[in-house]
Copies of this chain bind each other. A is one copy, B any other.
């Protein structure tokens, strides 16, 4: 298929000269270079990345490592991969998918030792993710999509949860709401240590408090049935609530159903907004739900870019506070001003 030697022979130069001409590693006379490039083109020469990597210790391959999708990935998670692959590709890198199997840590350690990778991008990062210690120990460059509890000295791209909380609250107060509730994902074994579930709850609560809104939470739900129960429970104890933010797509299905069963019109009687749901999915609900759409593609992109940046420049430390990417507010038909006579209606 044509090796560098063939190119060199055809151009009447030494292999090292051909290499230099093709890579710009050292000066080559214009005429010589021309001959080499011509020979390479005629032969359809493509460098062997294995040979190159073996000696140069750089492969321009990154791995995206992710745990076994507990209950299947959603669109959001998948877009990390697409975004990261696109960014990597644009910068001349390749992205290897590295799903978790039987023994996650062992496999990751193994993979990083094979010389195949220049760095690793970690997805679905948990607050105390063990992969961080492992990669640090192995001295493998890495970056996170998401972040650990203490990401101060790490490269990471994550959602700007602070801003997300503020945006939700601002959207609602802007409409005139003075009281709201948040229905989070439940904290099971998986999500209990999963950053977004923890952070989002904290940040919305903080923003609501700061804005002087009355705030209710603790009615978490992952399924339609739980969502229905959540709204029932919520209205039983907090009948004054005029707006509710929901994290889980499925829970939102139940919330809307429960509202309808009670004769509550959305958004007339109750404003419903989603949080971290894609606009595409939010627009499938009826009414179309307002959502704060996660910047999934962008997070994937930024993660890959940061990792490559780090590879190019060893001296640079991670950006303080990482990269925080805001969500986009996409207003649907599910948010409106609260009724003036709200309390009377419910009474």
Interface residues of A (CB under 8 A from B): 1, 44, 46-51, 53-54, 59, 61, 64, 69, 72-75, 78-79, 81-82, 85-86, 89-90, 94-99, 101, 110, 113-116, 224, 249-250, 252-253, 256-257, 280-281, 283-286
Contacts and interface: CB of A to CB of B under 8 A. Distances in A.
Contacts of A44: 113
Contacts of A79: 73, 78
A285 B286 contact: yes
A94 B96 contact: yes
Which of A96, A97, A98 lies at the interface centre, i.e. has the most chain B CB atoms within 10 A of its CB?
Answer: A97
A95 B94 contact: no
Nearest to A289: B284
A250 B46 contact: no
A54 B116 CA distance: 12
A325 to B, nearest CB: 17
Contact of A284 (B69, B94, B284): B284
Contacts of A46: 110, 113-114
Q: Which 5 A-B pairs have the closest CB atoms?
A: A46-B113, A78-B78, A85-B97, A48-B115, A49-B114
A75 B81 CA distance: 12
22 contacts: A1-B113, A46-B110, A46-B113, A47-B114, A48-B114, A49-B116, A50-B59, A50-B115, A50-B116, A64-B97, A73-B79, A81-B81, A85-B98, A85-B99, A86-B99, A89-B99, A90-B101, A94-B116, A95-B96, A96-B96, A249-B280, A284-B284
Nearest to A63: B94
Given A1-B113, A53-B50, A54-B54, A281 B281 contact: yes
How many protomers of this protein does the assembly include?
2
A254 B213 CA distance: 36
A153 B172 CA distance: 60
A231 to B, nearest CB: 15
Contacts of A96: 61, 94-97
A140 to B, nearest CB: 11
Contact of A97 (B47, B49, B81): B81
Nearest to A102: B90
Given A85-B99, A94-B98, A281-B284, 12 more contacts: A46-B110, A48-B115, A51-B115, A78-B79, A81-B81, A85-B98, A90-B101, A94-B97, A95-B97, A252-B284, A257-B286, A285-B285
Contacts of A64: 97
A115 B3 CA distance: 11
A114 B86 CA distance: 20
A292 to B, nearest CB: 17
Contacts of A74: 75, 280
Contacts of A257: 286
A99 B82 contact: yes
A47 B114 CA distance: 6
